[in-house]
Structure 1
């Protein structure tokens, strides 16, 4: 099991109604994406971090390690936004002139990159809040209630299940290869890894067929039904969610014409 799932099942928000957590995460994420300045996305990032670390009691070190994972993709995408290439000298560009070509950045491009960066970080923080406090089974249950097409929900559940199947299969193959000195040297390691990847698909396919046969034997008709633990909706939590999101929405409207 992933550590994310472990914290989702053991967090202090585990027994809060999943619909409340889902509504808070999704509404806050949309408000964050609608902002026109970096203020609201930064507040959303801090708010989600406080909820996960201080309320759900997820270790801060683990949370920030997760938060650093998408930074590589963000930086790569922001480079395409901020870098400007123009022929000849361009006073609006701060950078270098190489062979008659100006390479650098502009003020508006930096502002746009800062806004995109903070929005992305805020949206990721909202999704981390949901995934670290709500098990995947309950998220799938909420999607069923929202009338999301059954095919998409079933595919989501099966893909999530097969992540563990593939990881378990790869782990057993790796241990088997290691016990035969398959990773004793660099050359041997590359050869063993290539064999592992080549055989992983075939074994995972056979595991998936066995799982599908087991589902059919238990009366599978195209929809997986899961037991849901009944939880009451808390009026106090709903009021708190409404106050937080309304405050953020007011900030979005107030800062709409502010500079980034």
Structure 2
């Protein structure tokens, strides 16, 4: 089991109704996406971090490691946004000209890149809050209550289950290969990696057939049933969520509305 999944089942917000956590994360994510203001993104990152670390009890070091995961992709993305290439004259803050082509960064492109970077981190922090405080099965339970098609939910559950199957199978194959010096050199690494991918496909197909046979043995009738935890709606939590979202909208209005492009 992934550590994210472990924390989802063992955190201080575990007993909170999943609909309350889902609404808080989704509403905040929508506001962060819709409003193009760096201040709003920073507030979202701060609030989600406080909620995850202080309220849910997730270790700070683990949360920071999670936030570092998308950082490389974000840096590459904002780098391409910040740099401008044009044959026309640009108000460059820094750059150079080669063969009549201007390459560099402008104040506008730097602002756009910074805004995009903060907005992306803000939305990621919303998703992390939901993933670290709410198990997938409970998210699916809420989606079922919202009349999401059963076929979509079943596919979602099967894909979620096979993430762990693939990781466990790949880990076992890799350990077996490494113990036989399968990754001792670059050439053997490529060879071992190819065999790992091929065997992973075969073993995954075998596990899928076993899973389907197990479902049929348990009288599967095109609907996967899971245990549902008894939850009660908290008026206090709903008021807190509404108050925070309202305060965020007021902050948006006070700083000037900027809709995302």
Task: Report the Cα offset of residue 249 of structure 1.
Answer: 1.1
Deviation at 1:184, TM superposition (A): 4.7
Residues 36 and 256, structure 1, Cα contact 8 Å, conserved in 2 = no
1:101-180 correspondence runs (5 A): 101-180=101-180
Question: For the structure 1 residues 248 and 88, does the alpha-carbon distance in structure 2 shift closer, same or farther, using more than 3 Å as the test?
Answer: closer
| Cα shift at 1:7 | 0.9
Unaligned runs of 5+ in 2: none
Residue 174 of structure 1: how far off its partner (Å): 2.6
Structure 1 window deviating more from structure 2 (183-192 vs 98-107): it is 183-192
Shift of 1:159: 0.5
Shift of residue 88 of structure 1?
Answer: 5.2
Distance in 1 (CA, whole Å) between partners of 2:20 and 2:88 is 56
Q: Residue 195 in 1 paired to residue 195 in 2? A: yes
**Deviation per CA, 1:50-84, whole angstroms, max 9, x where unpaired?**
00011111111110111111112212222232221
Q: Deviations over 1:117-140 (max 9, x none)?
A: 111111100000000011111111
**What stretches of structure 1 of length at least 5 have no aligned partner?**
none
TM-score normalized by the length of structure 2: 0.92
Provide Cα deviations, 1:71-109, integer angstroms capped at 9, x if missing partner.
122122222322211225433564211222110122222
Q: CA deviation at 1:172?
A: 2.4
| Structure 2 contact 90–106 (Cα < 8 Å) conserved | no
Structure 1 Cα separation of the partners of residues 98 and 221 of structure 2: 65
Matched-pair contact (CA < 8 Å) for 2:45–2:121: yes
Whole-Å Cα distance in 2 between the matches of residues 108 and 89 of structure 1? Answer: 14
Q: Counterparts of 1:181 and 1:36 in 2: how far apart (Å)?
A: 52
Cα RMSD between the aligned structures?
Answer: 1.9
Partner of 1:28: 28
Find the residue that maps to 2:174 and give its secondary structure. Answer: helix
Separation in structure 1 between the aligned mates of residue 7 and residue 64 of structure 2, nearest angstrom? 14
Q: How far, CA to CA, are the matches of 1:156 and 1:132 in structure 2?
A: 18
Task: Tell me by how many angstroms 1:198 deviates.
Answer: 1.2
In 1, Cα distance between equivalents of 2:204 and 2:75: 34
> Does the C-alpha gap of structure 1 residues 210 and 25 become closer, same or farther in structure 2, counting only changes over 3 Å?
same
What is the Cα deviation at residue 222 of structure 1?
2.0
